[in-house]
Structure 1
Amino acid sequence: MADNNNPGTTGGHGVEIHLEEVSKRYPGQQAPAVESVTMTIPAGETVVLVGPSGSGKTTTMRMINRLIEPTSGKISIAGEDVLALDPDKLRREIGYSIQQAGLFPHMTVGENVGMVPGLVGWSKQRIAERVEEMLDLVGLDPAEYTKRFPRQLSGGQQQRVGVARALAANPPVLLMDEPFGAVDPITRGVLQDELMRLQADLGKTIVFVTHDFDEAVKLGDRIAVLGERSKILQYDTPEAILTNPADDTVAGFVGAGAALKQLTLRRVRDIDVTEVPTAKVDEAPSALAERLGSRRGAIGLVLDRRNRPLRWATAREAGAVAALERAGRPVEDSVSLASTLQDALEAILTDDDGVAVVTGKRGEYAGVVDIDTVMNAIKALREENAEPDEAAVAGAGS
Structure 2
Amino acid sequence: MSVEKSTPDNGISGVEIVLDHVSKTYPGQSEPAVADVSLTIPAGEFVVFVGPSGSGKTTTMRMINRLIEPTSGTITIGGRDALSIDPNKLRQSIGYAIQQGGLFPHMTVAQNIAVVPKLLKWDRKRIADRVEELLDTVGLDSAEFADRFPRQLSGGQQQRVGVARALAADPPVLLMDEPFGAVDPITRGLLQDELMQIQAEVRKTIVFVTHDFSEAVKLGDKIAVLGQRSSVLQYDSPEAILANPADETVAGFIGQGASLQQLNLLKVRDIDLEQRPTAHENDSVAEFAARIGNDWGIILDARDRPVRWTDRKHLAGVSSLRGIGLPVGELVSTSSTLQDALEAILAERNASAVVTAARGRYHGVVTIETLIETIRSLREQHEDDPAIFEPDPSESPT
3-state SS of the aligned residue for 1:274?
coil
The CA deviation at 1:325 is 2.7
2:155 partner amino acid: G
1:305 partner amino acid: A
Query: Which runs of structure 2 are paired with 1:73-92 in the superposition (5 Å)?
Result: 73-92=73-92
The CA deviation at 1:299 is 1.3
The CA deviation at 1:12 is 3.2
Q: 1:75 to 1:255 in 2, by over 3 A?
A: same
3-state SS of the aligned residue for 1:367?
strand
Q: Any conservation in 2 of the 1:12–1:201 contact (CA below 8 Å)?
A: no
Q: Any conservation in 2 of the 1:218–1:265 contact (CA below 8 Å)?
A: yes
In the other structure, the counterpart of 1:310 is: 307
* In the alignment, structure 1 residue 223 sits paired with structure 2 residue 223: yes
In the other structure, the counterpart of 2:395 is: none
Q: 1:109 to 1:193 in 2, by over 3 A?
A: same
* Match for residue 361 of structure 1 among 344, 358, 363: 358
Could you tell me how far apart the structure 2 residues matched to 1:4 and 1:322 are? 54
Q: Any conservation in 1 of the 2:225–2:233 contact (CA below 8 Å)?
A: yes
Could you tell me how far apart the structure 1 residues matched to 2:318 and 2:155 are? 34
Q: Any conservation in 1 of the 2:3–2:77 contact (CA below 8 Å)?
A: no
Query: Which runs of structure 2 are paired with 1:74-223 in the superposition (5 Å)?
Result: 74-223=74-223
The CA deviation at 1:260 is 1.4
Could you tell me how far apart the structure 1 residues matched to 2:5 and 2:47 are? 24
In the other structure, the counterpart of 2:342 is: 345
* Match for residue 297 of structure 2 among 300, 307, 325: 300
Could you tell me how far apart the structure 1 residues matched to 2:233 and 2:198 are? 29
Q: Any conservation in 1 of the 2:4–2:78 contact (CA below 8 Å)?
A: no
The CA deviation at 1:210 is 0.1
In the other structure, the counterpart of 2:325 is: 328
What is the CA deviation profile of residues 19-75 of structure 1, one whole-angstrom value per residue up to 9, with x for unaligned ones? 000000011112100000000000000000000000000000000000000000000
In the other structure, the counterpart of 2:370 is: 373
3-state SS of the aligned residue for 2:381?
helix
Could you tell me how far apart the structure 2 residues matched to 1:278 and 1:376 are? 25
Q: Any conservation in 1 of the 2:3–2:80 contact (CA below 8 Å)?
A: no
Could you tell me how far apart the structure 2 residues matched to 1:44 and 1:204 are? 5
2:375 partner amino acid: I
1:181 partner amino acid: G
TM-score normalised by the chain length of structure 2? 0.94
Could you tell me how far apart the structure 1 residues matched to 2:317 and 2:28 are? 73
Q: Any conservation in 2 of the 1:288–1:315 contact (CA below 8 Å)?
A: no
1:384 partner amino acid: Q
The CA deviation at 1:127 is 0.4
Could you tell me how far apart the structure 1 residues matched to 2:317 and 2:328 are? 19
Q: 1:203 to 1:256 in 2, by over 3 A?
A: same
Q: Any conservation in 1 of the 2:285–2:318 contact (CA below 8 Å)?
A: yes
Q: 1:327 to 1:3 in 2, by over 3 A?
A: farther
In the other structure, the counterpart of 2:16 is: 16
In the other structure, the counterpart of 2:70 is: 70
Structure 1: give runs of 5+ residues left out of the alignment: 391-398
The CA deviation at 1:384 is 2.9
Moved more, 325-334 or 155-164: 325-334
1:355 partner amino acid: S
What is the CA deviation profile of residues 300-352 of structure 1, one whole-angstrom value per residue up to 9, with x for unaligned ones? 10011111101011111122544323212112211111111111111111111
In the other structure, the counterpart of 1:246 is: 246
Could you tell me how far apart the structure 1 residues matched to 2:43 and 2:381 are? 29
3-state SS of the aligned residue for 2:345?
helix
Moved more, 170-179 or 358-367: 358-367
What is the CA deviation profile of residues 342-397 of structure 1, one whole-angstrom value per residue up to 9, with x for unaligned ones? 1111111111111111111121111101001111111122223322349xxxxxxx
In the other structure, the counterpart of 1:289 is: 289
Could you tell me how far apart the structure 1 residues matched to 2:11 and 2:244 are? 35
The CA deviation at 1:288 is 2.2
Q: Any conservation in 2 of the 1:286–1:319 contact (CA below 8 Å)?
A: no
Could you tell me how far apart the structure 1 residues matched to 2:5 and 2:225 are? 34
1:371 partner amino acid: I
TM-score normalised by the chain length of structure 1? 0.94
1:299 partner amino acid: W
What is the CA deviation profile of residues 4-31 of structure 1, one whole-angstrom value per residue up to 9, with x for unaligned ones? 999xxx9631100000000000111121
3-state SS of the aligned residue for 2:385?
helix
2:114 partner amino acid: G
Q: Any conservation in 2 of the 1:289–1:316 contact (CA below 8 Å)?
A: no
The CA deviation at 1:169 is 0.1
In the other structure, the counterpart of 2:396 is: none
In the other structure, the counterpart of 1:393 is: none
1:344 partner amino acid: A
3-state SS of the aligned residue for 1:325?
coil
Aligned-pair Cα RMSD in Å = 1.6
Q: Any conservation in 2 of the 1:2–1:170 contact (CA below 8 Å)?
A: no
Could you tell me how far apart the structure 2 residues matched to 1:205 and 1:67 are? 18
Could you tell me how far apart the structure 2 residues matched to 1:122 and 1:276 are? 45
The CA deviation at 1:192 is 0.2
* Match for residue 380 of structure 2 among 378, 383, 386: 383
Structure 2: give runs of 5+ residues left out of the alignment: 388-398
Could you tell me how far apart the structure 2 residues matched to 1:172 and 1:211 are? 25
Deviant stretches of 4+, over 3 Å: 1-6
The CA deviation at 1:203 is 0.2
